[in-house]
Amino acid sequence: PHFIIELPDKNDALCFNINDKPGTIFNLVKDPLTGTVVNGQTIGDKKVNPASKENTYFGRFGIIHEKFGIRLMVSTQEILVSEHGKQAKLFWSDNTSVKGLNMDLQVTKDRSLTVTLRNSVKFVIILHKVWKKHPYHQDYLGFYTLDSHLFSRRVNGLLGQFYHGVQFEVSEPFAGKDVDKPDAFMFVKGHRLLVTRGWQKDFRNDVKNGENVPCWFIHNNGTGLIDGDLTDYTVSGLF
Amino acid sequence: SVNSAETEVQSVKIDCKVASRFAHTVMTSTALNKANVSQEVFFEVELPKTAFITNFSMEIDGKTYVGEVKEKEKAKKQYEKAVSSGQTAGLVKASGRKMEKFSVSVNIAANSNITFTLTYEELLQRHFGKYEIMIRVKPKQLVQHFEIAADIYEPQGIAFLDTYATFITNELLPLVEKTVTDKKAHLSFSPTLDQQRKCPDCDGTLIDGDFFIKYDVNRVQDLGDIQIVNGYFVHFFAPADLQRLPKNVVFVIDRSGSMSGKKMEQTREALQTILDDLYEEDHFGLITFDDKIVEWRPSLSNATKKNVNAAKTFVKNIQAVGWTNINDAVLRAVDILTAAEKNKTVPGNSASMIILLTDGDPTFGEQNLDIIKNNVKNAIGGNMSLFCLGFGYDVDYNFLDVMAKQNDGLARRIYEASDAVLQLQGFYDEVASPLLSEVHFNYPEDTVNSLTGSYFKQLFNGSEIVVAGQLNDIEMNDFAVEVSAQGAENYFVAKGQASAQKWDTIFPDQEYIFGDFTERLWAYLTIQQLLDKKDKGTPEEKANATAEALELSLKYNFVTPLTSMVVTKPETDEKPEDTLIADKLTEDQRTGVSTPSQTVPQTSYSYASSPINWVDGD
């Protein structure tokens, strides 16, 4: 999966990839004060193209809001919601809108799920539908945080640690390995990292083609940018 | 409107009568079904939010179905019965910033006609030196007889009167007839079928938009104008030629994360102009807050050019991030104003106010709304007024409204739109020029009773204070009146005698207008004030105010937040008799309508420029 960290104050963005074995579950957001947790499980391609490396994507997300007693499991097949033990199942094939006491859900058919947790967070999960007979790829999901300002300062996770911004400096760019993509040095969290100017896609408005977002790419699974290392974010279950 | 060419809207008439600012509007529409089968006819009317519906009726082939105003709880029982039998109910919906929509549809039999009549009443409020009547007309098709007629009777004399409409073209302009004499104005607009047409051969109508009438009355006396009619009196107070009071204002600006992007940008832009508009004799301060409270300066500054420029630089650099600590921010503003008064760094005759701008619920520090209201009320202690601006739809507007009213101010919603800057500046302009403070109205206790509010923290330039009451003796024709207040140069005291005028001489042939207008004006104003009290008083005061407001609403047939109008639709071949409900919406219910930020969250202003972090595939 590709992570993108937007920094409106700097009018810039950071990006990095996380690759591990398919099936790994990563913690994306964890806020101990509000009791909000978002975990995601990766999937791989149906089969690996011998000519390329194996890519992974998110295939399932598990979202918990302790205070509201909410659990949400979103896969490429279905959406399971439970609130204080009451359960409901929603399908990607229908336009659905559910307005609850503390949570609003809006499914846009075969495209996106918008989740608003009262006074807490708002996010969108995008469904990428792939041609069923595609030899390698399968359906996968994207996770976009729309409003994170109500998370506490203690929020962490692969995405959560950036909700209150990140301080960094970038040196003058210089020619890198790829002639179209200059490199630079980034000074962040006490590290000096070699980064590459590239872009990643925002699929919220155009789920098929996406829109390019220029960003500084941090190599090697975001090492140096993320706190700790990748194993610190792997968890044993979705909930 | 009608769905079929075989049904025609025969007439639409809007008749508005205003007597001493109290407007009584009747909208009547008649349709005829010429078909051999039954047809559905829709009646949709938009009325001002500030108005109360007082009557609704449908006349079908000589039989009249009249709406009945009932206590909300009782009406609800009927409504629930209707809902449980599969029928739809609510007739009133929010519509835009100023209006709410009343709509009903009825199936009418072949070759029969229907007449809908809706009546509503409101007290016109003076803003920026004028009263405004707004009539929204959207007949959707050509109408055989279309007419807007307005008659205005103002015993003080009409100073000026303007009309315009958003749909009036050069061809339609001469059709607006206007006759203004000293105390009376008559307006009418009645285009023929051909004049309504968009083009010679088409059926589209030009009549689609808002019709405005704006006017003011003559103001001369210090005491204001007092009218005595039928045992009721109303006192209009907005004296001319008063000098402005210096003001001490602290702007408390929310810069939490949800303000980021457009809202913060618009706030910065509006403040640039607002700061420029401060008068040199004013004192001001600025506080910005997220979870931290940041003052521009620890005490008030004179609004000199140099200080204003420094404040503008500070404002330019406000950035949105973090949580929302309303409690500590407002309390800090109170401290600054209190210190200024205590240290006598501001003039003794000045008016102190806090203007709070926020877009969300408190999420940091004290978050219990009742405790915040108490803290603010105790800290202010009646020594200054608090005005609250709720930006967007995520605010708990009711909280801001009550907190402002508890502290002699008012709340206003700022709608998220491209004109938000103008809305902010407009609100500031309304309160920018206090003319008097601590305004007390005194009437002899043995002469009058059931007075509406008679103390006002401030009188602002361009506005008007209205007090109404009952006379102990219906035959009484005069009584003593005194108004006292703090003025700019000295203490303002106006004394005089109110006396009943000879209406039949002032308005010969129209004396019927004054039959019960003053009484209804008193009832309208009393209900409005009781509804405010219901929100802000002690539990006992709340209960008493609710009971009293309900009693008056029922007595005067007003659809208020405490009552509902039950409308019975006639039985048809397909459906049994329907029961529908017309309610008065509260601000909370209005915000329940779809807004851009709720229906299209991805592109809403609130989140468009928040940091959006995501994970996805190629």
Specify which residues A74 forms β-bridges with. A61, A79
Whether the predicted pLDDT of B375 surpasses 90: yes
Interface subset of A 197-236, CB within 8 angstroms of B: 200-205
Mean pLDDT confidence for B463-488 = 91
Q: Say which of A9, A119, A143 has its CB closest to residue B614.
A: A143
Q: Which amino acid is at A127?
A: L
Counting Cβ atoms within 10 Å, is residue B57 exposed (0-12), middle (13-18) or buried (19+)? middle
Residue B489's pLDDT is 86
Whether the predicted pLDDT of B519 surpasses 70: yes
Q: Please give the residue of chain B at the shortest CA–CA distance from A128.
A: B617
Provide the token pair at B77: 């029982």
Whether the predicted pLDDT of B539 surpasses 60: yes
pLDDT in tens, B406-454: 999 999 999 988 899 999 999 999 999 999 999 999 999 899 999 999 9
Residue B509's pLDDT is 62
Integer Cα distance of B353 and B334 in angstroms: 9
A48: CB partners within 8 A, 6+ apart = A54, A136
Cβ contact B610–A147 (<8 Å): yes
Whether the predicted pLDDT of B169 surpasses 90: no
Q: pLDDT class for B593, splitting at 50, 70, 90?
A: very low
Whether the predicted pLDDT of B602 surpasses 70: no
Q: pLDDT class for B573, splitting at 50, 70, 90?
A: low
> Kind and range of the H or E element at B15?
strand B7-19
Mean pLDDT confidence for B501-520 = 68
Residue with tokens 């000589």, as numbered in its chain: B62
A72: CB partners within 8 A, 6+ apart = A61, A62, A63, A64, A79, A80, A81, A82, A115
Whether the predicted pLDDT of B596 surpasses 50: no
Q: pLDDT class for A100, splitting at 50, 70, 90?
A: confident
Whether the predicted pLDDT of B293 surpasses 90: yes
Q: Please give the residue of chain B at the shortest CA–CA distance from A146.
A: B612
Tell me, what's the ipTM?
A: 0.78
pLDDT in tens, B43-75: 889 999 999 999 999 998 888 999 999 998 888
Whether the predicted pLDDT of B512 surpasses 70: no
pLDDT in tens, B90-100: 678 777 788 99
Cβ contact B601–A114 (<8 Å): yes
Closest CA to B490 of B566, B427, B412, B437: B437
Distance, first Cα to last Cα, chain B:
52
Give, in order, the Cα–Cα distances in Å from B529 to each of B7, B50, B393, B443, B444: 45, 13, 25, 19, 21
Q: Say which of B258, B606, B613 has its CB closest to residue A162.
A: B613
Integer Cα distance of B357 and B488 in angstroms: 28
Number of Cβ pairs < 8 A linking chain A and chain B: 109
- Tell me which chain A residues have a C-beta less than 8 angstroms from the C-beta of B613: 3-6, 144-145, 148, 159, 162-163
Q: Say which of B319, B598, B610 has its CB closest to residue A149.
A: B610
pLDDT in tens, B251-280: 999 998 778 888 999 999 999 999 999 999
Interface subset of A 115-144, CB within 8 angstroms of B: 116, 119, 122, 124, 126, 128, 140, 142-144
Integer Cα distance of A141 and A72 in angstroms: 14
**Beta strands B184-189 and B209-217: pairing type?**
unpaired
- Determine contact: B396 vs chain A, CB below 8 A: no
- Tell me which chain A residues have a C-beta less than 8 angstroms from the C-beta of B607: 122, 146-147
CB B63 within 8 A of CB B134: no
The angle that helices B397-406 and B369-380 make with each other, rounded to 10 degrees, is 20
Q: What percent of chain A stands above pLDDT 90?
A: 51
- Min Cα–Cα distance to chain A from B590, Å: 17
* Torsion of Cα atoms, A185 then A186 then A191 then A193, to 10°: -50
Residue B514's pLDDT is 54
Highest mean pLDDT pick, B491-500, B534-543, B567-576: B491-500
Q: What percent of chain B stands above pLDDT 90?
A: 56
Interface subset of A 14-73, CB within 8 angstroms of B: 18, 28, 40, 55, 57-58
Cβ contact A142–B601 (<8 Å): no
CB B84 within 8 A of CB B589: no
Whether the predicted pLDDT of B478 surpasses 80: yes
Residue B608's pLDDT is 33
Q: Say which of A143, A147, A148 has its CB closest to residue B615.
A: A143
- Tell me which chain A residues have a C-beta less than 8 angstroms from the C-beta of B602: 114, 124, 146, 204-205
Cβ contact A202–B614 (<8 Å): yes
Least confident of B12-26, B176-190, B488-502, B589-603: B589-603
Q: Please give the residue of chain A at the shortest CA–CA distance from B256.
A: A149
- Tell me which chain A residues have a C-beta less than 8 angstroms from the C-beta of B616: 1-2, 4, 126, 128, 142-144, 200-203
- Min Cα–Cα distance to chain A from B178, Å: 51
Most B CBs within 10 Å, among A146, A162, A211, A230, to test the B interface: A146
